[in-house]
Amino acid sequence: MLKGTIKIDGDKSISHRILIFGALSNSKSIIYNLSKSDDVKRTINILKNCNFKIKINKESTTVFKSTVNQKIKKFYCGNSGTTARFMLGFLPSIGISGTLYGDKSLSKRPMKRLLDPLLKMNIKIKKNKETLPIQFYKSNINPINFTLNHPSAQIKSALIFAALSLKKNSIIKDPFKTRNHTENIIKFLGGTTEKYKKFTIKGFQYTVPGDISSASFIIAAAVLIKGSNINIKNVLFNETRIGFIKVLQKMGANIQLLNTRIECFEKVTDLNIRYSQKLKSVTLKKSDILNMIDEIPVFALIACFAKGQTRVNHAAELRYKESDRIKSIVFNLKRCGAKIKETKEGFIINKSKLLYSTSIKNFHDHRIAMMCEILYLVIKGSINNNQNKIINTSFPDFYKHLGDLYE
């Protein structure tokens, strides 16, 4: 069983963003609880290679006022799609030219939806290239009036970072109400989000709340393992990120919110999670998918223990993540005995009796790897602890937290 209290590493999505705002500030900025993930390290390394001075110690990360001075011409993004997309908007706007490239997985992920509006802003990008590596050039950027035609907070934020280099207003509309962390940080720093343009960013102090997407795997283990009762402190509870919690509560999971408050324009809460024996199935709505897209792998595992038939649809975006997550989820759960059927935009699951199979695979995808590790823990009753490298992409403390809680 899992017992005890933990504090989760800083939210990965916010960590990328707050680092870039630190680089744009006019004096020293101090960030607490920054994500230690490999993805965020990619963003840090690119900023350092543009001469931004960043000092990391145990308690905080400090970003110093710096003069842009390009040190290299090729910028490595690893497996981080967030890094790649943000930098395509940010780097040309601060006078940097170069090439963004990534690992094998990232090099397959489509970039056209971002490249089209960036080209409209006059950002110079080598044409006929819709995947990494992508060559770009410092650009005289134009303002834009753009409405997202696809739900992507990364595209929205990349355009905002480009717009923040201009004295003229840009209008960037988001009818899908995707993650609004960039907008919340701008408000925290004294800017406006009705229209985007350059504003003075003073040095700041910011505490990154715990990553709800990382927490979801620990939550799943507590919900599924008999006798569990845990607390997770300081978890991000932004309305665009809590689909997973809301859906689990609807399924009958024992999850309580404690001490919910606002910190740095973000809602934060403490969670109490207990073993939940009588879970019931659910059909996810399109809005549910949007607000829990990263949690779908571990949600699928939980659905195997829910009475009835669970349906996931409108999730085609999962096919363009670090792996084709629909195929990865179905492959692994089916190997372990799940009654699961793949559909064009998701899958259907009936309550199943699972048995662990050594033939399951992580597909080089950190969230699939963590789903498999929670599956191992639930079925085998012990911590597997053999996928550190891929899991470090997003959640380096995954095994540590499981070890601290497991009795």
pLDDT tens-digit profile of 258-280? 999 999 999 999 999 999 999 99
**Domains delineated in the chain:** 12-207 (3.65.10.10), 212-405 (3.65.10.10)
Residue 129 is predicted with a pLDDT of: 74
Per-residue pLDDT of the chain (407 residues; tens, 9 = 90+): 999 999 999 999 999 999 999 999 999 999 999 999 999 999 999 999 999 999 999 999 999 999 999 989 999 999 999 999 999 999 999 999 999 999 999 999 999 999 999 999 999 998 767 899 999 999 999 999 999 999 999 999 999 999 999 999 999 999 999 999 999 999 999 999 999 999 999 999 999 999 999 999 999 999 999 999 999 999 999 999 999 999 999 999 999 999 999 999 999 999 999 999 999 999 999 999 999 999 999 999 999 999 999 999 999 999 999 999 999 999 999 999 999 999 999 999 999 999 999 999 999 999 999 999 999 999 999 999 889 999 999 999 999 999 999 99
Q: Is 294 a catalytic residue?
A: yes
CA angle, residues 353, 358, 361, in degrees to nearest 5: 100
Is the peptide bond prior to 297 cis by the omega test (within 30 degrees of 0)? no
Question: How far is residue 156's CA from residue 168's CA, in Å, rounded to a whole number?
Answer: 18
Residue 177 is predicted with a pLDDT of: 95
Q: Which neighbouring-strand residues pair with 267? A: 262
CB of 168 closer than 8 Å to CB of 122:
no
Catalytic residue among 38, 39, 211, 294: 294
According to DSSP, residue 128 is labeled: S
For residue 322, how far is the Cα from the chain centroid?
A: 12
Closest CA to 278 of 304, 296, 251: 251
Closest CA to 25 of 69, 57, 70, 62: 62
Question: How far is residue 339's CA from residue 345's CA, in Å, rounded to a whole number?
Answer: 17
Rg (CA), the chain: 21
Residue 185 is predicted with a pLDDT of: 98
Residue 330 is predicted with a pLDDT of: 98
Residue 128 is predicted with a pLDDT of: 66
Residue 126 is predicted with a pLDDT of: 87
Burial class of residue 281 (count of CB atoms within 10 Å of its CB; 0-12, 13-18, 19+): middle
pLDDT tens-digit profile of 75-133? 999 999 999 999 999 999 999 999 999 999 999 999 999 999 999 999 999 876 789 99
